[in-house]
Amino acid sequence: TLLEVVRTTASIMGSEAQKVFDAKDASSMLMELRGTFETGKTKSYEWRVSQLKSMLKMTEDCEKEIVDALHSDLSKSELESFVYEIAMLRSSLTLTLKELNRWMMSEKVKSTITTFPSSAEIVSEPLGVVLVISAWNYPFLLSLDPVVGAIAAGNAVVLKPSEIAPATSSVLAKVLGEYMDSSAIKVVEGAVPETSALLEQKWDKICYTGNGRVGRIILAAAAKHLTPVLLELGGKCPVVVDSDINIKVTTRRIIVGKWGCNNGQACIAPDHIITTKDYAPKLVDALKLELEKFYGKDPLNSEDLSRVVNSNHFSRLTKLLDDDKVSGKIVHGGQRDKTNLRIAPTILLDVPEDSRIMSEEIFGPLLPILTVDKIEDSFHMINSKEKPLAAYLFTNKKKLKEQFVRNVCAGGLLINDIALHLAVPTLPFGGVGESGMGSYHGKFSFDAFSHKKAVLYRSFAGDAPARYPPYSPGKLRLL
């Protein structure tokens, strides 16, 4: 009958046209989380520990599901997924569980003679309900590592994973729903409309990982509510290579830091190399040699290389390569496979500094090498550009290391290796200038999601009359 047809059509349309998560949904989700936060539940040490332990268990129970999702989103190798996403999250959780009690303790600090007698302390308190917006390149780790900090500090939290890694986003929504306390920890999946709906709300902190263009949108939205932000952005991470090095170790570390980390799609992957004119040919030869050892003669089919995340990024990267200013500068690689979204490890020599590839973050398997007359000139070259998230130097020279540390401005510096500073939780991880603001990892994550409350205790003793009006000249002399 006609009625049945209408009903069927309505039900098909209902199931197809999924309702978009809008500002009203975001507002009621936030209200629910605020309600939970206000009960004080998330503040207790026991709740924080139970949630962190539960997340740790999830990483064990669901390891295969996570690895499969990462493979589906980026064709990441199992080893890479395990080491850089799962194991790193586990070590963050283990450290937090071990140290949390100490981190939560108030810190006694000296007070002054002016307030004598008194005692002072700094009390870490949770900020409230925080929003974590994450990127696609390490979609598991970069979603959950900030959440670890948020929970450790006693907050309720909403996670918005990246829609560009949809399989991981959906696994995150599922497993967090199963393992975590859903009255305090929620996942919202989606893209710009959903994120915009979330950004209309008044959060107590927003942690955003991604690019600087969207970083500005986040900052503007946060400004409306005076919400503090942690922005983990990117940039063009330079690698300075001196001639006084162990060339084999250097090239192997550069290769694994560039192509072995998600095929260059990593925020701290080398963006370009700077070396001297004289040394460049030797470096290129050594890179070629080791690249072939790692990924064979047909790198487009290597299972150890991730693919480019999607066709937009594939065409962005191939445009960088096909730019007239750089297309003749390829000294290695350059092969591509549009169907499978693969680009071979590619080295370019002496690209002009005003080319597109040198004007934007590459975030893919292309590695330009720039040359300078003297290696010290590279420091000036780095400082003349936007501040990168990481800067690297390979050298044996003590003086050069000192100059690098003293003069080069970046989120973090690493000498004689690539990316490993990120694995040291006693170091803050974050950018400066265009590469971001604020930092996290280890105790810095706890601090990033805490308010440091200043508390001064006085007694009724030591009440100086000179403090109180009327302020006669005699009282002033007493002070």
Annotated active-site positions, please?
Answer: 232, 267
CB 119 within 8 A of CB 454: no
Determine, following the binding rule CB under 6 A, whether residue 233 of this chain makes contact with ligand NAD: yes
Instruction: Please check whether residue 243 is in contact with residue 276, taking contact to mean a CB–CB distance below 8 angstroms.
Output: yes
| Closer residue to ligand NAD (CB): 213 or 399 | 213
State in Å, rounded, how far the first CA of the chain is from the last one.
Answer: 95
Helix (H, G, I), strand (E, B) or coil at 231: strand
Q: Cβ of 94: how many Cβ atoms within 10 Å?
A: 12
| Residue closest to ligand NAD when measured from CB atoms | 234
Shortest Å distance, C-beta 387 to ligand NAD: 12
Is residue 269 within 8 Å of residue 237, measured between CB atoms? Answer: yes
Residues 49, 83, 173, 214: which binds ligand NAD (CB under 6 A)? 214
Binders in 62-91 for ligand NAD, by CB under 6 A: none
CB 321 within 8 A of CB 351: no
What is d(CA 89, CA 441) in angstroms, rounded to the nearest whole number? Answer: 10
Which region, judged by CB under 6 A, interacts with ligand NAD, from 75-83, 174-182, 203-211, 444-452?
Answer: 203-211
Contact 425, 95 (CB under 8 A): yes
Cα angle vertex 432, ends 427, 434, to 5°? Answer: 140
**Contacts (CB under 6 A) with ligand NAD, residues 407-466:** 431, 436
Residue 429 per-residue DSSP state:
B
Site residues (CB under 6 A) for ligand NAD, limited to 266-295: 267
What SS3 state is found at 394? strand
Measured CA to CA, the distance from residue 456 to residue 380 in angstroms comes to: 47
Question: 415 has which bridge partners?
Answer: 393
Q: Which of 127, 135, 153, 317: binder of ligand NAD (CB under 6 A)?
A: 135
Q: Report the 10 Å Cβ neighbour count for 421.
A: 19
DSSP secondary structure string, 338-364?
A: TTTTEE--EEEES--TTSGGGTS---S
Least separation, in Å, of the C-beta of 230 and ligand NAD?
A: 10
Quick note: the x/- pattern for ligand NAD over 183-202, rule CB under 6 A, is --------xx--xx------
Total residues binding ligand NAD (CB under 6 A): 28
- Residue closer to ligand NAD by CB (options 133, 284) is 133
Residues 147-186 that bind ligand NAD (CB under 6 A): 160, 162-164
Among the listed residues 73, 80, 204, 232, the single contact to ligand NAD using CB under 6 A: 232
What is the number of residues in the chain? 479
CB of 90 to ligand NAD, least distance (A): 18
Per-residue contact string for residues 357-386; x = within reach of ligand NAD by CB under 6 A: ----x-x-----------------------
Strand partners, 330: 348
353: how many CB neighbours lie within 10 A of its CB? 15
Taking CB under 6 A as the binding criterion, the range among 35-43, 231-239, 280-288, 374-382 that sits at the site for ligand NAD is 231-239
**Closer Cβ to ligand NAD, 166 or 334, answer by number:** 166
Q: Which of 209, 250, 251, 346 binds ligand NAD (CB under 6 A)?
A: 209
Least separation in angstroms between CB 143 and ligand NAD: 9
SS3 label, residue 262: helix
Contact positions toward ligand NAD, by CB under 6 A? Answer: 133-137, 142, 160, 162-164, 191-192, 195-196, 209-211, 214, 217, 232-234, 267, 361, 363, 389, 431, 436
